[in-house]
């Protein structure tokens, strides 16, 4: 979206952002998966109304437009035993566990609970939940953070404040985005994981096992942390709209609906399907997922860019080590 710059008031900007840049999900969709399939995590149940998905270590979760959730793949910890009879608002998948937010803001969990990572604090004031390996992180309705599970490296010592709008969990580190567009990280400091890039122009974030990825307002990418497998060698360009980290690889969605992938590719998890019809992406442990639309992609009559006078963020679902955001 680089053709024309339009200056807007705050009210106008919120309205235009909501009607132009948010992907339309009303039409038919297809969820596809590729990469490691040793536990059937790429055997997607057929459906034409997937809205979002989560990639776990060796399992996958699909969120449908009616609020129902399906799970498939490894189930050795009950991570695919989704509580039946519920209408969910969003889903987050960790390495061996899931969190599902109900429409009333309460959270249901399933899967590995070795370190109480499924013992969600009571209440119905949760807006977003992210799953790491052995810990979990959440944003409350007042914009503050809460965390539970294994407390190594100070993972549960969340930063103070009521201005958080997005979160992500790695194996032993956590990452959060503030409403002013800045990042903050805590937990394991190896690989410089907590040395976040400076700036107040970030709109999305995601965590891999030992690396992190962020999207800037201008559509460019930045990554930091472990880079033994090239997972921090981001592709050039400023046409990216969405990001997601797998365990040791990354996915990024371009404005034209195509997918870029890089990092560990031992199971073909970076061999993204071709096409320009993708609207959602998710990285799993050693596999990848994406949603494509079978309807024509909506194209605004005049693409816009919001000037950096303000930052507007809209939230959506999360995956194994990451949380993602639509621009």
Alpha-carbon gap, residue 148 to 159, rounded angstroms: 14
Question: Which residues make beta-bridge pairs with 87?
Answer: none
Question: Cβ atoms within 10 A of the Cβ of 12, count?
Answer: 11
* Model confidence pLDDT, tens digit, residues 237-289: 999 999 999 999 999 999 999 999 999 999 999 999 999 999 999 999 999 99
* Model confidence pLDDT, tens digit, residues 29-63: 999 999 999 999 999 999 999 999 999 999 999 99
285-238-194 Cα angle (round to 5): 50
Exposure of 183 in the CB half-sphere (CA atoms within 13 A): 28
Alpha-carbon gap, residue 304 to 327, rounded angstroms: 12
Q: How far is CA 39 from the centre of its chain?
A: 22
Instruction: Record the pTM.
Output: 0.83
In this prediction, residue 315 has a pLDDT band, given cuts at 50, 70 and 90, of very low
* Model confidence pLDDT, tens digit, residues 105-146: 999 999 999 999 999 988 899 999 999 999 999 999 999 999
Cβ atoms 112, 77 nearer than 8 A = yes
């Amino acid at each position: 979206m680089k053709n024309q710059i339009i200056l807007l008031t705050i009210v106008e900007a919120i309205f235009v952002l909501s009607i132009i840049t948010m992907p339309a999900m009303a039409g038919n969709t297809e969820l596809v998966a590729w990469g490691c399939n040793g536990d059937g995590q790429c055997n997607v149940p057929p459906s034409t109304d997937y809205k979002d998905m989560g990639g776990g270590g060796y399992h996958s979760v699909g969120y449908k437009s009616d609020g129902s959730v399906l799970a498939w793949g490894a189930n050795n910890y009950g991570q695919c035993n989704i509580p039946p009879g519920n209408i969910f608002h969003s889903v987050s998948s960790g390495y061996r566990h899931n969190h599902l937010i109900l429409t009333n803001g309460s959270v249901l969990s399933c899967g590995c609970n070795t370190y109480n990572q499924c013992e969600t604090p009571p209440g119905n004031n949760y807006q977003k939940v992210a799953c790491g390996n052995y810990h979990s992180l959440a944003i409350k309705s007042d914009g503050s953070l809460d965390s539970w599970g294994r407390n190594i490296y100070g993972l549960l010592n969340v930063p103070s404040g009521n201005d958080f709008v997005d979160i992500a969990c790695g194996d032993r580190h956590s990452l959060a985005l503030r409403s002013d567009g800045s990042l903050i990280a805590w937990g394991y400091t190896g690989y410089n994981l907590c040395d976040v890039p400076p700036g107040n122009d970030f709109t999305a974030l995601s965590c891999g096992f030992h690396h992190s990825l962020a999207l800037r307002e201008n559509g460019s990418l930045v990554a930091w942390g472990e880079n033994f497998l090239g997972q921090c060698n981001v592709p050039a360009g400023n046409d990216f709209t969405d990001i997601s980290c797998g365990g040791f690889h990354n996915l990024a969605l371009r404005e034209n609906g195509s997918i870029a992938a890089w990092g560990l590719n031992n199971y073909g998890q970076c061999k993204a399907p071709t096409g320009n019809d993708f609207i959602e992406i998710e990285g799993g442990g050693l596999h990848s997922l994406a949603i494509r639309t079978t309807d024509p992609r909506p194209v605004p009559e005049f693409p816009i860019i919001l000037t950096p006078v303000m930052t507007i963020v809209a939230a959506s679902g999360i995956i194994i080590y990451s949380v993602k955001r639509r621009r």
